[in-house]
Structure 1
């Protein structure tokens, strides 16, 4: 009997919790997405993840001396990211936006490709600056990068 070809799966998510030192996730959804990537690798599934390389990631919270909550953005080490040398472009709000594509496999996960608009010489870094930005315009722009940019990268 001939082998049945396995489908190739691309899993799109706004956040991935691969490691607590790589804070491109907020909480439950990111942890679940990270676990899915790790399971896909363990089971050798034909699977890739597509996400966004958030510049600021999520924040730690603490109470100041007056008892008010404060946010502290955490920087993370990008040394484990591999530059694919690839870019994709799409149009957002009447402007061409270029996304650099990074690859990461450092946390025992299936291959994850991350899109990044924070490139030298461009004014579009705001799109991938902060996970779950506050304005609807920023959120929709990030969703366009993930969806449209991710599909263009895969093609």
Structure 2
């Protein structure tokens, strides 16, 4: 039996995308359960906020993950697993104003979708490095579950001022 015969059939042109490795993995339950819960939770506190922008914001970050564990010289790549699009690039991709990036980043971090956000300086130039989680464990009510089996329940009080 060939590899093609062993593979599960894929809809539309998904197999071509997988074969070309021109994709990034995301957990579908984020779209089905987690993001709707986040959006309704934030709107319960601040009804007029444009929290729905959290979805394109997350996917813009996700599309820039550095998947190279080693640099060209063989040394460990400090950016491995982090995404580092500039705020200007995120704006170009999503239309989300830079002033809102901090709040959206805080919401993603409070929900465990971003596990780390760090400042990185090269000379006097500041970069943000985002470390997205692929959110492997999600509860039935749409919360991420940490390594200890506990739900990550966000506290938006400091984020939504």
Q: Could you say whether these structures have the same fold, taking a TM-score greater than 0.5 normalized by the shorter chain as the test?
A: no
Of structures 1 and 2, the one with the larger relative CO (CA 8 A, separation 6+) is 1
Higher strand proportion (structure 1 or 2): 1
Which has a greater percent of helix? 2
Could you state the TM-score of these two structures normalised by the residue count of structure 1?
0.28
Whose Rg is larger? 2
TM-score (norm. length: structure 2)? 0.27
